Every structure is written in C-alpha cells, then in structure tokens.
Amino acid sequence: MNNLKVWIPLAIFLMFCGVAAYQLTQPKDEFVESTMVGKPVPEFELRPATAELPGLSIADLKDGKPKLLNIWASWCVPCIAEAPHLETLKRQGVEIVGVAIRDRPQDVARFLGQYGNPYTKIGADDLSEIQLSIGSSGVPETFVVDGNGIIRHQHLGDVRAEHVPMLLQKLAEAGS
Amino acid sequence: MIAELGLAALWLAAALCALQLLGGALAQRDENSDLARLVRPAAIIQGLLAGFAFLMLLWLFYVTDLSVKLVATNSHSAKPLVFKLAGAWGNHEGSMLLWITVMALAGGLIALVERRLPEKTMLATLSAQAFVGLGFYAFLLLSSNPFERLPQPALEGIGLNPLLQDIGLAFHPPTLYFGYVGLSVAFSFAVGALLTRQVNPNFARAMRPWVLGAWIFLTLGITAGSYWAYYELGWGGWWFWDPVENASLMPWLAATALLHSVGVLAARDALRTWTIMLGVIAFSMSMLGTFLVRSGILTSVHAFAVDPERGSFILVLLLLYIGGSLLLFALRAGTVSEGERFSVTSREGALVFNNVMLSALLGIVLLGTLYPLLTEAFDVRVSVGPPYFNPVGAIFTIPMLLIMAVGPLLRWRGDSFARIKNSVAIVAAIMLAVLALVLILGSYGLLPVLGLAVAAGLAVGSFLPLRGRNLLRAPLSLWGMVIAHFGIAVALFGMASETAFSEEKLAAVPVGESAEVGPWDITLEQVAPVAGPNWTAIQGRLAASYDGGDPVLLTPESRNFWAPTQETTESTLATRWNGQLYAVIGNQAADGRWQLRLWWKPFVTFIWYGGILIALGGLLALIGRLRTDLKRRYVKSRQADRAKEAAAL
C-alpha cells in the first residue's frame, strides 16, 4: 500500500477496459454492400449459356418488371443448395434470370435437368466480366433489379429458405 | 451421438474444473483436508475429458457431420482431409475448444509430475489454473458451443475460409495456442506463488520449463505466421504491424523478458517481484491478443469471428484474470522481498537491461496497437503502421542487441568490463567493418545499415561464451542460449538485407515476352485456367533464369474458391541460397497483357531460418534443463533411500 508504483499496471489496465467496453457498445456497420447498389446495371450482352434458354442482355433488365438476377455456375456446390429456394421464388411468380460463370453448355443443361430450372433466361459469362462489373465477388450471388435496370439489393452467398420472404419484399419494394 | 458425447465430456470437465478451483482454494486453510487430496486427480481427469471432447470434434469434422452447425459452417465434403481436420480449429468455437483442451492437459500434466513446490503452493497454482479454465469453459458452453446441432442437417457445408486452406496456416494457430496456454501455466504459477508468498529459486525452476515451452511455440508460431502472410497474401511483405500480428508479438516479448528474469531468479534468487510481474503480464498479453482478435474492436486484415457479444465475454474474463492478478500483485508485491543484490556490471545487470528494453518495446507495440482504439473513442480514425513501429522500436532494439552480444560473457553478481574488453573489441571491430563496407556499397536507409552491422557483431558475439570451453562438455542450456542468440542475428540479417537490397518490378507482359528484376530474367510462357478440388484458377507459367542460368518454372495463380467464394492470389517463389524471387500474377489488361508483380529479395529466407534457430535454441535449453532436473530428482531419491537405509541400520 505504501508503494504507489505497484498500482500503476492495474490503473492502466482498468483504463483500457473502460475504453474497450465503450467501443464494444458502439454500433458498427457490419454489412458490406456492393457500391453498385442503387446504380444501374452496366451495358452487356451475353450469349445463351444453354441451347434451351435465350441469352441475357441489358435490355432484358429494363423491361419494366423487377427481377432477380442470379449469378451461379454448374460447378458451384452451394448453388445446388439454393436451387429449391429459387424454385419456391419462381412459384411465387418471381422472374429469375441467370448468369452462368465460366461454364459449359452441356454442364449447364445437366445442372438444370438435375436440380430444376427456375430461370427464364441465362447468359454465359466466360470471363466473369458481368460478374465483376456489377460488384459480385463470387458464386452464388443474387441481385434484386428493378424494372429500369437499377440494382436495389445484393444478396451474398446462397439463398436459403429464411431469405425467401426478404427477397420477395425487396422485389415488391422495387416494383413500386 | 458423437456431438452429444463431446458436449457431455465438456460439461463434466467444467464441473471437475470447479471442483479443482474450490478444493485448491480451501486447501489454503487446511492442506491435509480430503478436498485437497481431490485436486490433483480432478486436474488429471479434467485434462483427459477435455482431450476426449476435442477428439470428438475432430471426428465430426473427419466424417463431415453436417447436422452439427460448426461443421456445416466451416467444412465441406469436397475439401481435402487435412483441411477438414484443420477446420476443427480454424474457427472461433473450435479454437476455443483447442485452447481449453491444451490448458486442461497442461493442468493435468502439472498435477501429475510437479513435485518440487511446497504442496500448498502447488494447490494454489492448480486452483489458479482452474480459475482461468472455468472462465473459458463458461465461454464455450454458454456462448460458443462447438457441438451445437442444426435443427435440420445441412445439404452441404459452407467451407473453410480459403485463406486458411493452406498447410502452413492449418498448423499456425495451434502452435501459437500452445504458446499462449503455456503462458497461462506460468501465470498460474505466479499467482500461486503470490498467494502463498513462496517466490524463490524452486518456484522459478518449476515455472521455467513452462515458460521455455511456451516461448518455443510462440517463436515457431510467429515465424510460421510471418512466412504464411509473406507467401499467401501475395503482397510481398513479411511483417505488417497488423493488430493481429502484434497480438502474437506482445506475448512473445513478455515471454522473452520472463524467460531471462526467471533464469536470474532460478540461478541467483534475484528479481523476484519483477519475475512475478512478467508472469502476470505475459499471460495478460495472450488474453489481450485473443480479445483484440475476437471482439472485432480493431480493424485488421485478419478479421476473425467478429462478434461484439463474444468480445464482451472476453472483456469480462480479462477483467477477472488480469484485473484480479494485478490487484493481487499490488497488494502482495510489498511482501515479496527483492532478493539478492548485484552490481550493475554483472550478468544480472545485463539481463535487467534486456528486461527493461524488452518491456519498453512491449510498451510501444502495445501503445501503437491500442492507439487507434483510443482515438476512435474521440471519433478520429488513425492507423499506426511501420513509420511509427520501425524507428521507435529500433531505439530500444539496437541497444538491447548490443548488450546481448556481450552480456552473456559477464559473470554473475559482479564483474568488470576490463575483463571482457577483448571480446567487446572483437564485436565492435566486426560491426564497424560491416558498417564501413555497406556504406561503401551504396546508399541505403539508416535502419537497414545499422541492422546489418549489429547482425554481424551479434552473430560473432553469440558464439563467444563458448570460447575456451570444451565444446562437447558445455551444458546443453549454454548451447541453447548461443544458438538462440545466433538465430536473432540471422533473422536480423534477413530483415535488414531484405529492406536494404530488395528490388521490385510491376510489369505488364504479353505471353511470350519477358521482364527483368534484379539478376533475374522472367519470361511469361503461357496463361491457362486450372481447377483444383474446390477452386478454379488462372495460372501463369513463368520461366525464370538467374543471371543467365538454367530457367526455373514458376506457376503463380489467381484462385477463385467457391465454398465460400473468395479470390486469392497464390504467389510462387524461386528460392536460392542468397534470396528469393517472388512472383504474383494479376489481371489481364484490355490490350491482352498480363500484370506481373515481381520481387527479388536477397537473403529474405534468413528471417525464418533465424526464427527456427531461435526456437531450436529454446528447445536445446529446455532439454538441458529437464535433464538436469531429472538428474537432481534421481540424486535426491538416492539420498533419501540411503538415509532410509541408514535409519534402518
């Protein structure tokens, strides 16, 4: 008690705890959105990814109807997991267009045959050009695009059952 | 079933841990009570149960049981086996389980083998260990259950962070953990000794192997981590002063200081309070590091399990352990006498100097790491990087290394510089010669030039303690010190020459053309897509020839992982004895040329060779110490036997 020095470490430590506790209670932005949200999809034109469906171009995204733009690939394992939920969305009347990343027509056809086809159109993006230009960093990702081709929402990773209502709501907001 | 078995074992272990805490605490009043006799077995069984729980988690990852949340979120059926297993600890919950497992096993080991300390101190130590352990069990079981089941099994797992899908990194965190946990044992010893006021050479000898062991693992962990960051992140550097890197460096600095002061306490019964203080600080730094990494409170390239709720939990643990032990220290420090005296010019004097410098270094790293946190409280965002750490660190490092080159030549208790003046002259002459040589060679920065000179002097100085000795009969611990100090010189040489002599080239090269960096001529032969088990990549084929010699094939890649999706650059290296060529492939420009980043880094590998030598020195010292202990124990038991025989006659 007679020696003040021995109390210094404790005093410093308690100060640190105070600052840390304060910092912990501060809200932080945790969700990193693409900087493209709120902006129009850049011009593009993609050849069909499979013989059964038409390809995709910017004009398809500006037809006045909000849509889901799903970035996927037949070699992508989480894409298998999200397939049934895209089917659910389709049954609710949602139009889903796809962009297949670095894929082959026969693989795309095999995937659609095996896991179902929720898409009305699929463009083939062999060099990831579209993917990168709209701020997607991987597969799968799903964008809500309104009738004027403006990106309203970005969903990272696979679409799961719990995301379906949220996506439906975002689409409804994009349609109004 | 497996997950439930693991969870049950974990709860049982936690219960035994509570028993260990209670028994050890009550034994402070009556060390012959029945409860006191339960403490050691409780510690041993707790270790076994925690080990069992960890094995169960490994099993779940081995079979990829996707009904377990942790497996589903961190593993993936298409992943190579070794990374499936590494997935068990490559995440928050699993690594916490690994932590508590290693800690419980260490507690069991102390309970099993440690017989040197008075029983009361031993029980206090085990009790302190249980106190720390209990907090971690609470953390695991209440907030981070690794065995949690999903309501519905997942179809497929999400995968392991691709940056972690690297053999070096799979084993880097556990290595560091062994270090952190070893320091928790040292901490428990310090608290036990403070509680029973038994700070003496015996205590130091009991604590020393744990400090040494922890220090070896920390050294290896930092070395491996630095090399991983160097070749995996693709930015060409080996140390970034990132908060997470600092989180591992700070306990190392404290452990290095502790290692030297515990040696003084063991040999000379001096520096008692200082040793205890460092024991508390070293573990506090491990805990602080964990807190910084897990709470997301600081921005780091290693963002890991960012979660304010968990951060709050660890902050409470920090308050309990560090706050509690510092309070105990403040209350008790006055009652622990300083021990033996010594003069400034002595082995102890040199070691105190080393301790003060290491502590100062620790202070500036701590300040630099926490500074952004402080200013952020006032809404100012700053980042503190190499421009602060390098020069300010050097102010303390260089004098410390100078003393280190000659300190081991001094005798204990009191000596004169006149006696070692020849050795000092040799070291000084070598430093000046190298200094002159480098200054003639060209103009480099002040720090790398000083670094090269000090490295050369230290390299020679570290072998001087062997002079005039029979090399075969010199104690293993002396060899350990010599090799560890030489390792510092080697690492310093690597750092200084990498900083001074590196050459960098950012080139845009069409296929078939070449670029030059340093003595290398690199031709881009081909760019092709390749596929791995869970990624696809663009791979470049480079033919690199050194000084017109035979070309070496290099294949840098830009990889796209799809579970989870992430892009990583796989740099490639061509290693020669005198340095490394470092190549990274970037994007293709619109005109078809490929971006290449090339570095020629002379003697860069010496940084990590040095790290390995330092750890090897520690290992030799540890083996030497353990052998001496065993001999001493054997001699004692022989003496006891003889005494018994004599009594029987």
**Among B12-21, B43-52, B263-272, B586-595, whose mean pLDDT is lowest?**
B586-595
- A105 near A75, Cβ under 8 Å? no
Closest residue of chain B to A83, computed from CA coordinates: B155
Per-residue pLDDT, B300: 47
Q: Which of residues 123-182 of B touch A (CB under 8 A)?
A: 154-156, 158
Distance from CA of B565 to the nearest CA of A (A): 5
**Counting Cβ atoms within 10 Å, is residue B548 exposed (0-12), middle (13-18) or buried (19+)?**
exposed
Q: Which of residues B621 and A8 earns the better pLDDT score?
A: B621
Reduced to 3 states (helix: H, G, I; strand: E, B; else coil), residue B8 is helix
Distance from CA of B602 to the nearest CA of A (A): 36
% of chain B surpassing 70 pLDDT? 93
Residues B194-213 have a mean pLDDT of 90
Nearest Cα to Cα of residue B24 among B121, B116, B108: B121
Per-residue pLDDT, B460: 92
Of B156, B330, B566, the CB nearest to A138: B566
CA end-to-end span of chain A, whole Å?
71
Q: Does the CA dihedral B58-B64-B67-B70 come out positive or negative?
A: positive
Q: pLDDT (tens digit, 9 = 90+) per residue, B38-79?
A: 889 999 999 999 999 999 999 999 988 888 888 887 777 777
Closest residue of chain B to A24, computed from CA coordinates: B308
Reduced to 3 states (helix: H, G, I; strand: E, B; else coil), residue B297 is coil
Chain A residues within 8 A of B319 when measuring between CB atoms: 17
- B600 near B502, Cβ under 8 Å? yes
B6, B7, B9, B14 alpha-carbon torsion, rounded to 10°: 140
Chain A residues within 8 A of B377 when measuring between CB atoms: 19, 22-23
Q: In Å, what is the CA distance from B213 to each residue of A62, B351, B634?
A: 66, 20, 23
DSSP for B543-610, please give it.
EEEETT---EEE--EEEEEETTEEEEEE-EEEEETTEEEEEEEEEEPTTSPEEEEEEEEETTTHHHHH
For each of chain A's 176 residues, which pLDDT tens digit applies?
457 777 888 888 888 888 888 877 766 544 445 567 788 888 888 889 888 889 998 888 888 889 999 998 887 777 888 888 999 999 988 999 999 887 888 888 888 888 889 999 999 887 777 777 787 766 788 999 998 888 888 887 788 888 888 899 888 888 76
Chain B residues within 8 A of A140 when measuring between CB atoms: 565
Gap between the Cα atoms of B42 and B45, Å rounded? 5
- Please name every residue paired with B582 in a beta bridge, in sequence order, or none if there are none: B573, B599
Q: How many CA atoms lie within 13 A of B319 on its CB side?
A: 14
Residue carrying structure tokens 């989180």: B247
% of chain B surpassing 90 pLDDT? 35
Gap between the Cα atoms of B255 and B190, Å rounded? 13
Report which listed range, B278-282, B524-528, B626-630, is most confident. Answer: B278-282
Chain B residues within 8 A of A3 when measuring between CB atoms: 333-334
Could you tell me if B311 lies within 8 Å of chain A, comparing CB atoms? yes
Per-residue pLDDT, B379: 67
What are the residues whose beta carbons fall under 8 Å from the beta carbon of B515, sequence distance 6 or more? B505, B507, B509, B521, B522, B524, B596, B598
Please state, as a whole number, how many other Cβ atoms lie within 10 Å of the Cβ of residue A124.
21
Gap between the Cα atoms of B135 and B324, Å rounded? 13
Per-residue pLDDT, B418: 80
Element housing B63 (H / E):
none
Is B308 in Cβ contact with A6 (below 8 Å)? no
Nearest Cα to Cα of residue B282 among B184, B363, B135: B184
Report which listed range, B79-93, B232-246, B468-482, B613-627, is most confident. Answer: B613-627
Per-residue pLDDT, B164: 59
**Among A76-85, B254-263, B621-630, whose mean pLDDT is lowest?**
A76-85
Is B78 in Cβ contact with A13 (below 8 Å)? no
Is B562 in Cβ contact with A76 (below 8 Å)? yes
**Counting Cβ atoms within 10 Å, is residue A38 exposed (0-12), middle (13-18) or buried (19+)?**
exposed
Q: Which of residues B38 and B415 earns the better pLDDT score?
A: B38
Task: Look up residue A109 and give its amino acid.
Answer: A
Per-residue pLDDT, B163: 56
Per-residue pLDDT, B156: 67
**Neighbour order of strands in the sheet with A151-156:** A119-125, A96-101, A67-72, A141-145, A151-156
Question: How many inter-chain contacts (A to B, CB under 8 Å) are there?
Answer: 97
**Among A139-153, B241-255, B561-575, whose mean pLDDT is lowest?**
B561-575
Is A30 in Cβ contact with B567 (below 8 Å)? no
B187 is written with which tokens?
Answer: 């901490």
Is A21 in Cβ contact with B373 (below 8 Å)? no
% of chain A surpassing 70 pLDDT? 91
Element housing B346 (H / E):
none
Q: Cis peptide before B201, with omega less than 30 degrees from 0?
A: no
Closest residue of chain A to B533, computed from CA coordinates: A75
Residues B377-401 have a mean pLDDT of 82
Reduced to 3 states (helix: H, G, I; strand: E, B; else coil), residue A119 is strand
Residue carrying structure tokens 């094995």: B55
Q: pLDDT (tens digit, 9 = 90+) per residue, B333-362?
A: 777 777 777 888 888 888 989 999 999 999
Decide if pLDDT at B431 tops 90.
yes
Gap between the Cα atoms of B272 and B204, Å rounded? 9
Per-residue pLDDT, B564: 60
**Counting Cβ atoms within 10 Å, is residue B640 exposed (0-12), middle (13-18) or buried (19+)?**
exposed
φ, ψ of residue B471 to 5 degrees: the values are -60, -35
Gap between the Cα atoms of B373 and B288, Å rounded? 13
Is B277 in Cβ contact with A9 (below 8 Å)? yes
Per-residue pLDDT, B600: 93
Could you tell me if B441 lies within 8 Å of chain A, comparing CB atoms? no
CA angle A40-A42-A48, nearest 5°?
120
The rounded mean pLDDT for chain B is 86
Decide if pLDDT at B262 tops 80.
yes
Per-residue pLDDT, B342: 81
Decide if pLDDT at B31 tops 80.
no
Could you tell me if B39 lies within 8 Å of chain A, comparing CB atoms? no
Gap between the Cα atoms of B375 and B365, Å rounded? 16
- B357 near B414, Cβ under 8 Å? no
Per-residue pLDDT, B71: 84
Q: What is the set of domains in chain B, with CATH numbers?
A: 1-160 (no CATH), 166-339 (1.20.120), 504-604 (no CATH)
Q: Which of residues 279-308 of B touch A (CB under 8 A)?
A: 281, 284, 291, 295-297, 306, 308
- B242 near B369, Cβ under 8 Å? no
Is B377 in Cβ contact with A19 (below 8 Å)? yes
Gap between the Cα atoms of B271 and B234, Å rounded? 45
Per-residue pLDDT, A120: 92
Is A7 in Cβ contact with B322 (below 8 Å)? no
Q: What is the set of domains in chain A, with CATH numbers?
A: 45-175 (3.40.30.10)
Q: pLDDT (tens digit, 9 = 90+) per residue, B298-342?
A: 654 444 445 667 778 888 888 999 899 899 888 887 777 777 778
Q: pLDDT (tens digit, 9 = 90+) per residue, A61-98?
A: 888 889 999 998 887 777 888 888 999 999 988 999 99
Gap between the Cα atoms of A3 and B330, Å rounded? 9
Nearest Cα to Cα of residue B289 among B330, B259, B254, B247: B247
Q: pLDDT (tens digit, 9 = 90+) per residue, B228-240?
A: 888 877 677 888 8
Chain A residues within 8 A of B281 when measuring between CB atoms: 9
Decide if pLDDT at B296 tops 70.
no
Gap between the Cα atoms of B252 and B322, Å rounded? 17
